[in-house]
Amino acid sequence: QSVLTQPPSASGTPGQRVSISCSGSSSSIGRNTVNWYQHFPGTAPKLLIYKNNQRPSGVPDRLSGSKSGTSASLAISGLQSEDEADYYCAAWDDSLHGWVFGGGTKLTVL
Amino acid sequence: QLQMQESGPGLVKPSETLSLTCTVSGGSISSSSYYWVWMRQPPGKGLVWIGSIYYGGRTYYNPSLKSRVIISVDTSKNQFSLKLNSVTVADTAVYHCGVAYYDSSGRVYWGQGTPVTVSS
């Protein structure tokens, strides 16, 4: 069981906007920032969002992140077939003194 | 940008020690700007942080693995390593090494991972 809670699946049609939620605790998301990763099996998880809503260079602005209290979300607008992947949230946990992750959300583009 | 590549045996017998190495390129493992991390993903499951090693050698481990894990750095080879002893089939996973920026950004970048199977 993962420390952060994500829905196991999400879906949308091309061009739509989808949102993926991530719920944590006061020791994780409540006190620290959230990262979001895109993962294709067999490859390196790609950092999409850091510090709740910051995008590394090269990540398109149709991806955005937000955080409120002990929850965070990743939004993808203008959905494309190439967005079909697994998405994970991550946050530092003060009680663990380490990183905690969500269980992952499999995004399907219909 | 820093890049990392994991290496090590893909098959380990139960009760033996799993040993993996992460080779870092594009930057120095001795830099105080980063710290180094291992995580794993068991088949069909989510990501799990294993532990981290900081500049100066300070380490932190996941409590669920702490009694079996050692993470260390070899500055001469620009590598860091993971040793997990007394492995069982539950340790079968893809193991990823990563670099975390020691600033307020919270950025962590990961390698592509290496699969390890525990089986006799």
Beta carbons of A47 and A34 less than 8 angstroms apart: no
Three-state DSSP class for A90? Answer: strand
- pLDDT at residue A85 is higher than 90: yes
B63 to chain A: which residues are within 8 Å by CB? 96
Token digits of residue B53: 């090693």
Q: Is A47 on the interface with B (CB under 8 A)?
A: yes
Digit-coded pLDDT (tens) for A67-82: 999 999 999 999 999 9
Contact A44 B52 (CB under 8 A): no
Beta carbons of B7 and B95 less than 8 angstroms apart: no
Three-state DSSP class for B69? Answer: strand
Beta strands A105-109 and A9-12: pairing type? parallel
Residue A41's pLDDT is what? 86
Contact B46 A101 (CB under 8 A): yes
A104 to chain B: which residues are within 8 Å by CB? 46-47
Token digits of residue B3: 């890049």
Beta strands B93-101 and B108-110: pairing type? antiparallel
Cα–Cα distance measured from residue A47 to residue B71, given in angstroms and rounded to the nearest whole number: 23
Provide the residue-wise pLDDT of chain B in tens; the chain has 120 residues: 889 999 999 999 999 999 999 999 999 999 999 999 999 999 989 899 999 999 999 999 999 999 999 999 999 999 999 999 999 999 999 999 999 998 888 899 999 999 999 999
Residue A90's pLDDT is what? 97
Residue type, A47: L
- Any idea how long chain A is? 110
Token digits of residue B120: 């006799």
Residue A1's pLDDT is what? 65
Number of Cα atoms under 13 Å in the Cβ half of residue B84 = 30
How many A/B residue pairs have CB atoms within 8 Å? 63
Among A95, A24, A94, A96, which residue's Cα sits nearest to residue B66? A96
Residue type, A54: Q
